[in-house]
């Protein structure tokens, strides 16, 4: 069931972008701000305390920093599409952007379902995070002139990444053995994405206030999760 939800939330986001032509960008930005704040809060409230239960806390910190560095490198190729940069799908390098996003989606799926340990709060945070990203990705593919058939094919590939990672985390013993370090690495990746979404500035003063309210709401919901 969790694999289907991970898959179809991306398809739903793509269909929203394709069929609702007058979808206002500020609504996507609010949804992106909410998802970024919620995801970052879940990392802080749930994932970080869990990984820091490991006896080698300094090594855990190293893996968190490696995750941040990995995301920085990934964004050289994705151009920041993970946190809503809509200029990312350049016609000269669409495949590089797409592959980078798939790598990101695969990595964020790894902590969901490791062995018998299902991270429910993290799973819901990933679902919330994927909706605006899939809307943005589809909008970029539409702008690049892709046909509906091609868009659905690429969305299906992208949508498969996190379920595949979650399934491998459940099935492969080696991933279970190094769960703390993998989760720390992914926490670093998502900490960078979440903070980037939160700290990106907007020109509109009214938008800043509304964004702040959305972020506070997301943090409160994550605290109660």
Q: What is the rounded distance in angstroms from the CA atom of residue 32 to the CA atom of residue 203?
A: 17
Q: What is the rounded distance in angstroms from the CA atom of residue 65 to the CA atom of residue 187?
A: 9
Q: In 98-210, where do the E strands start and end?
A: 113-114, 117-118
Q: What is the rounded distance in angstroms from the CA atom of residue 169 to the CA atom of residue 196?
A: 27
Q: What pLDDT shows up at residue 212?
A: 86
Q: What is the rounded distance in angstroms from the CA atom of residue 224 to the CA atom of residue 100?
A: 33
Residues in the chain, total: 225
Q: What is the rounded distance in angstroms from the CA atom of residue 14 to the CA atom of residue 8?
A: 10
Q: Which residues contact residue 44 at a Cβ distance below 8 angstroms, ignoring those fewer than 6 apart?
A: none
Query: Please, what is the end-to-end C-alpha distance for the chain in angstroms?
Result: 20
Q: Which residues contact residue 95 at a Cβ distance below 8 angstroms, ignoring those fewer than 6 apart?
A: none
Q: What pLDDT shows up at residue 93?
A: 54
Greatest Cα pair distance, the chain, in angstroms, is: 52
Give 16's Cβ-side CA count (13 Å radius). Answer: 19
The pTM of this model reads 0.88
| Cβ atoms 119, 225 nearer than 8 A | no
Angle, vertex CA 141, rays to CA 132 and CA 127, nearest 5 = 25
Q: What is the rounded distance in angstroms from the CA atom of residue 213 to the CA atom of residue 182?
A: 32
Q: What is the rounded distance in angstroms from the CA atom of residue 61 to the CA atom of residue 189?
A: 13
Q: What pLDDT shows up at residue 87?
A: 52
- Which SS3 state, helix, strand or coil, does residue 114 take? strand
Residues of the chain with confidence (pLDDT) below 50: 88, 92
Instruction: Please report the DSSP string for 55-84 in residue order.
Output: S-HHHHHHHHHHHHHHHHHHHHHHTTGGGT
Q: What is the rounded distance in angstroms from the CA atom of residue 91 to the CA atom of residue 143?
A: 10
């Amino acid at each position: 069931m969790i694999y289907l939800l991970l898959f179809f939330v991306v398809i739903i986001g793509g269909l929203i972008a394709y069929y609702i032509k007058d979808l206002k960008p500020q609504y996507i930005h609010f949804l992106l701000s909410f998802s970024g704040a919620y995801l970052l809060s879940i990392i802080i409230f749930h994932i970080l305390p869990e990984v820091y239960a490991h006896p080698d806390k300094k090594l855990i910190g190293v893996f968190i920093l490696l995750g941040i560095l990995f995301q920085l490198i990934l964004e050289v190729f994705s151009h920041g599409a993970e946190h809503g940069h809509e200029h990312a799908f350049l016609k000269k390098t669409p495949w590089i952007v797409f592959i980078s996003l798939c790598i990101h989606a695969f990595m964020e799926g790894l902590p969901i379902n490791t062995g018998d340990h299902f991270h429910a709060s993290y799973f819901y945070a990933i679902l919330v995070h994927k909706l605006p990203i899939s809307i943005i990705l589809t909008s970029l593919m539409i702008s690049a002139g892709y046909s509906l058939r091609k868009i659905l094919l690429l969305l299906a590939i992208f949508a498969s990444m996190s379920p595949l990672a979650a399934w491998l985390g459940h099935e492969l013993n080696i991933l279970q053995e190094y769960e703390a370090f993998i989760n720390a690495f992914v926490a670093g990746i998502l900490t960078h994405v979440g903070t980037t979404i939160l700290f990106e500035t907007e020109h509109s003063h009214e938008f800043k206030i509304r964004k702040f309210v959305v972020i506070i709401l997301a943090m409160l919901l994550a605290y109660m999760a």
